[in-house]
Structure 1
Amino acid sequence: MAATRVNLTADAYMVCLTHALSTEREEVMGLCIGEIDTDKVVHIVSVIILRRSDKRKDRVEISPEQLSFAASEGEISFHKCLSNHFWVLEGNFMPYRVLAALLKRPLRVVGWYHSHPHITVWPSHVDVQTQSSYQLLDECFVGLIFSCFNEDKASRQGQIQVTCFQSINQSPEGEAPMYERVEIPLEVMQCDSISPSCMDALVQLPKILSQEEQEAYENAIRAGNGDLLNNIHNGAVYTKAICHLLEVMSGSLLQALEQRLNRNEDIIERLVAERERLMKQLEPTS
């Protein structure tokens, strides 16, 4: 185990969780952006949502070559980094090098996250193997898993679990590697506002999801070879998927942002009133 602990900012956690809850049919994935201090504590301050070109309900993959290229070519668009592989990121977003310049911190790719809909939070053997390959590039590279759409049997309420892990080789020297998961302590750090990069990721999420649905629809149309009934069916499925995104994702996201705006306006109003009260106290008595 190389990483000693992971500190995840609350706004980055919100983006990861929102992404994980966007679909219960397939797993989703993204990259974690942050820094690693001298005590090998990983600080995650932002995430990059990856668009899926191949939807799978049981696994997600991104090659070590992709991560290496993304890390070494951080000055360019992630769309260029990933477009020739399994995952594509499109749309306007804040590159982490820009974010690093704004915050004056050496940010980079420090981990990955993915979802486990309807299954346990613990990483599968594929996840552990994938994580081990990432650690060849960076020994402190971490993986986060968000388990969602599960029901607690006692309370019969929805349950969300999060774990952070790394892989460790348990084989003796000279033998074939056998990797096992090692849980890394994870702490969600409170923050008073949503960072520009996290806000940008939230705004881009519905667009990325709709692009995935559009690509799936276009692939189905091409595979249908012009059959009228197939085209009608695929069009209905596509329309239903877009309506579902508008109802479940865009509507709830807009409502959450409006609630946060109202809360911030209430805070500003209270601070203005407090300022006026303090200014009156400072006025000289007549």
Structure 2
Amino acid sequence: MVSENYLKKVNLSADVYSVCIQHALTTEKQEIMGLLIGEVNEEERVSNISACVILHRSDKQPDRVEISPEQLCTASMHADQLTKKLCKPMRVLGWYHSHPHITVWPSHVDIRTQAMYQTMDPMFVGLIFSVFQSDTNNSKNQIQVTCFQAHDKGSDFERKEIDLSIIPSPFQKYNLEEIAKFSKILSQEEVECGDSKVNDIHDELCTLHNDAFKTLTLVHIVSKVTRPLCESLEERKQIIYLLTKELEHIKLELGGD
């Protein structure tokens, strides 16, 4: 039975929101997933999410994702490390995944998965990012996000939308480190997928074909993910540099030390 003690609101830091969006945009063929970390005001039932963990997909599917107990354990250890570093209680508060080319609303599988997590923690929340959706009158990529929990209707569960606010925040080092993992995780997934196919095939021509396809996929990751990501981070670095110079100039004008 899922608790009636639902969340009232979720505050998502802007840098985590950016990580989730960029992660969702790394592939339009399969769903991606990750876990959300932060702290909860139990009395007000407000969740404050300030960190995330990108998850490695052992089984890539176009319409579903699964989080293993080992991944939950790893995320919990990361939350413990942040607790010591930030001197405030941090824990795994939720999960996120993408819906490429389909509606933002959670499927029956998503809602049941969410209900399972809520049996362990009533404050657990789910985020879904719909990406690569094109409006009929506009060819631009439409991005939508929904924040939800599972509501127990007795015989089944239904979606309960939770109020979501994006809170302005500077990029924290630990969230920048998660962004830096995009290419590595995607490459590891492709290598593992390719190696598993090679182990099942003993035809030399098929092996060469699979190796060539794996190489092509890795090149695609570099050109479509790694390079744009590096350029984006360089632009961000330049903006921060210019802002720092401007603040130093203002400080001198005001007679600061």
SS of alignment partner, residue 276 of structure 1: helix
1:1-286 alignment runs, 5 A limit? 2-37=6-41, 38-62=43-67, 65=69, 69=73, 74-75=76-77, 95-171=78-154, 177-191=155-169, 193-225=170-202, 227-279=203-255
The aligned amino acid for 1:56 is: Q
Could you tell me which residue of structure 2 aligns to residue 85 of structure 1?
Answer: none
Structure 1 residues 207 and 68: CA distance shift in structure 2, 3 A: closer
Runs of 4+ in 1 over 6 A off after TM superposition: none
Q: Deviation digits for residues 82-134 of structure 1, max 9, x if unmatched?
A: xxxxxxxxxxxxx2222222211100000000010110000000000110000
> How many percent identity over aligned positions?
42
Q: CA RMSD in A?
A: 1.7
TM-score after normalising by structure 2: 0.94
Structure 1: gaps spanning 5 or more residues: 76-94, 172-176
TM-score after normalising by structure 1: 0.84
The number of aligned residues is 252
The aligned amino acid for 1:28 is: I
CA shift, 1:68, in A, is 6.8
SS of alignment partner, residue 54 of structure 1: coil
CA shift, 1:156, in A, is 2.5
Contact 2:149 2:162 in 1 (8 A): yes
Structure 2: gaps spanning 5 or more residues: none
SS of alignment partner, residue 156 of structure 1: strand
Contact 1:29 1:112 in 2 (8 A): yes
Q: Deviation digits for residues 175-205 of structure 1, max 9, x if unmatched?
A: xx310001111111111x2111101101111
Q: Deviation digits for residues 127-185 of structure 1, max 9, x if unmatched?
A: 001100000001110000000011011223210000000001112xxxxx310001111
Q: Which has the larger radius of gyration?
A: 1
SS of alignment partner, residue 88 of structure 2: coil
Contact 1:68 1:137 in 2 (8 A): no
